[in-house]
Structure 1
Amino acid sequence: MIKLPKILKIGLPITAFSFVFLVFSLNKVNAQTQRTMTIVPPSVIANLDPGGKTEGKLKVINDSDTPLTFTAIMRDFVVEDSAGTPKILPPDSVADKRFSASKWVAIYPSTFTVNPHERQELSYFLQTPADARPGGHYAAVIYTPAVADGTEGSGASVSTQVGTLFYVAVNGPITEKAEVSKFSANPFQEYGPVRILTQVKNLGDLHIKPNGSVMVSNLFGGKVAELKIEERNIFPGGITRDYENVLNKSFLIGPYTAKFTGTYGKNNNLPLIASVTFWIFPWKITLVIILVIVAIILGRKYMDKNKGKKPEEKKEQDKPLDTPEIPTA
């Protein structure tokens, strides 16, 4: 059991993107317009004690040429697939309340209009209950478009929902447990590239972000390649996440071993290990080469056999045998 430190972290997860572009398609009478917005940040990460609280700012930027009106509402979210896709849940529909956090967050203002190429700053207030369960809790601020041009009765609307994800870790004793539930590659193929799948299952109480690499070695233990996995969050409660690496080499031959070594956890010190062996062998071209070699050997033997013979002997050999006459009665 591990005690989470009392550290507050608010901001973007470590990712290649610092913001998210979200595109809305609006349908109007006799016209169709495309409008865009930017959410900053796309996620908020907070570590709090039970009964703890924090606050911060969110920004909605209107990148289009027309006003956009939104209503901000709180919803719980879960992840159910191995791609890490957040699923926004309807109000009070969470079957497992262990991970709910939507009632802990308030947004102000809840309804607002953003003029073209301007931004709206929102304030969020987050407070955990005094009896909050230690571990991970998750919610999302959903920005639901209302009247796009800021006036009632315009008829412009969008159905897409976008939002900011909240990852809330409540300090206290938790279980951190994960495993490599699948580590595979095509066991036999003629050529590269080779796709290697790593699947990690989070059996603990808090989201994790494993890091590690896949080391590929040949028959003699020599290093062929080292492939890093992307650092992605894995939702708790038995949810899996898939990571795919590609050994991008065309000409390979023989047996190879891929070994995954990674770590996870609050202190990033819990191990994840798996290995798999696969074969690369170009059997079609090898078969052609063998047939060519056999043909050359047989042709050489035939030439050697006839090399020392005189032309008369060859003619004698080639002369058809006399057939004895059959006496007639």
Structure 2
Amino acid sequence: MKLSQIKTQILSIILLFLFIYPTLTIEIHAENQVSDTATGLRISPPIFELSLEKGLSNQEIIKLENTGDKTQTYYPIVYSFVPKGEKGAEEFILPEKSDETYSLAKWINISKKGITLEPKGKIAVNFSVSVPENAEAGGYYAGILFSTQPNNLLETSNIQIASQIGPIILGQIAGETTEQGSIIEFSVDKGLYNYPPVNFVTRFRNTGEIHLKPTGKIEIYDIFGRKLDELIVNENLGNVLPQSIRKFDNEWFLNEFIIGKFTANVILEYGKSNNYVTESISFWILPWKEILIGLLLTIVSLTLLIILIKKYNAHIAKKAIEKHIKEENNKNSK
């Protein structure tokens, strides 16, 4: 079995495991809806990106659908959230236990009454975001999660995010804000490869006051400066919250024999001002097994050639000596 086939099977098993095993965090997905089999609830949209103004209120709607086969009652609760890790997951925190610097939860108004839905039942739930006059410009974040447990139980016990589902809200209050980010790492997992794939890691740090959505590409060049390929970074348009880091992974594979030194340049653009940052890295692809086999074959071929040449020369010399002796014998016989 080829190495690529083994890797594919291992990856499939890992993905199947992650699909089956319940998680304690919710990923941000750039889709129109998100579902949870544990609660039987489908939510739309999964992300609100709101432009907010001081002293004004935004009126929004969340669409709920019970995709299960039994009647369920869902209870909404508002959380603050912070990034968990560097892959786009969130950690949800009760507002009173969170840092209010970037918390939107305190300005969200939604009825906490239970919402009962029959199987396949649908409903639109209203909520508002009321921004006070003295609010500072910048980014603010919250999540409205729905659970089959009453709010008073969730607010007084350990939060089990796996049994909750709901949209996250990314809000931005208009005004003078700082958009600033940087690439703190652009690397490959090895400096020397036998052959592709090459795995790139790009880590972007948001040091500003609003969430950013860095997008860009990785350009790959050979030692002669010829562009071989191009990879898209942050193809799913993931957000990077203020004062956080997000990691983006890319894999490069080329279906042809390549060898030598290569250079990769990453270029990311972010913010309304179209700021951009770049980094470069070099790596080698040397298929040493093939090179070693080639060297061994060359050595064996040269050795055989030398042996054959020596044998040929010895044969020629022997013939010359025999001819000379024969000529001498003929002279002596006369």
TM-score greater than 0.5 by the shorter chain: yes
Alignment RMSD (CA, Å): 2.3
**Residues 104-159 of structure 1: per-residue CA shift (max 9 Å, x gap):** 11113632101100112100111111111210011111112138xxxxxxxxx997
Given the alignment of the two structures, is residue 80 of structure 1 paired with residue 94 of structure 2, yes or no? no
For residue 272 of structure 2, what is the aligned residue in structure 1?
266
**Alignment equivalent of 1:248, drawn from 230, 235, 253:** 253
For residue 325 of structure 1, what is the aligned residue in structure 2?
none
For residue 34 of structure 2, what is the aligned residue in structure 1?
20
CA distance in 2, matches of 1:308, 1:99: 88
For residue 124 of structure 2, what is the aligned residue in structure 1?
121
CA distance in 2, matches of 1:92, 1:52: 23
For residue 284 of structure 1, what is the aligned residue in structure 2?
289
CA contact (8 A) 2:181 2:208 kept: yes
Q: 1:158 to 1:137 in 2, by over 3 A?
A: closer
For residue 294 of structure 1, what is the aligned residue in structure 2?
299
Structure 2 gaps of 5+ residues are: 1-27, 151-159, 322-334
**Alignment partner of 1:298: what SS?**
helix
Matched pairs, number: 280
**Which deviates further from its counterpart, 48-57 or 253-262?**
48-57
CA distance in 2, matches of 1:91, 1:132: 17
Q: 1:312 to 1:274 in 2, by over 3 A?
A: closer
- Identity of paired residues, percent? 28
Q: Which has the higher strand share?
A: 1
CA distance in 2, matches of 1:224, 1:158: 44
Q: What is the Cα deviation at residue 48 of structure 1? A: 1.5
For residue 149 of structure 2, what is the aligned residue in structure 1?
146
CA distance in 1, matches of 2:316, 2:82: 90
CA distance in 2, matches of 1:241, 1:108: 34
Q: 1:97 to 1:109 in 2, by over 3 A?
A: closer
**Residues 14-36 of structure 1: per-residue CA shift (max 9 Å, x gap):** 96521112110xxxxxxxxxx52
**Residues 230-268 of structure 1: per-residue CA shift (max 9 Å, x gap):** 22100102x11111111112532101111011210124x
**Alignment partner of 2:119: what SS?**
coil
Q: What is the Cα deviation at residue 53 of structure 1? A: 1.1
**Alignment equivalent of 2:240, drawn from 220, 225, 234:** 234
Q: Which has the higher helix share?
A: 2
CA distance in 1, matches of 2:123, 2:201: 42
CA contact (8 A) 2:95 2:103 kept: no
CA distance in 1, matches of 2:290, 2:71: 64
Given the alignment of the two structures, is residue 90 of structure 1 paired with residue 94 of structure 2, yes or no? yes
Structure 1 gaps of 5+ residues are: 1-13, 25-34, 148-156, 317-329
Q: What is the Cα deviation at residue 82 of structure 1? A: 0.6
Task: Tell me the TM-score normalized by structure 2.
Answer: 0.79
**Alignment partner of 2:284: what SS?**
strand
Amino acid aligned to 1:290: L
For residue 10 of structure 1, what is the aligned residue in structure 2?
none
CA distance in 2, matches of 1:76, 1:227: 34
**Alignment equivalent of 2:311, drawn from 306, 309, 321:** 306
**Alignment partner of 1:108: what SS?**
coil
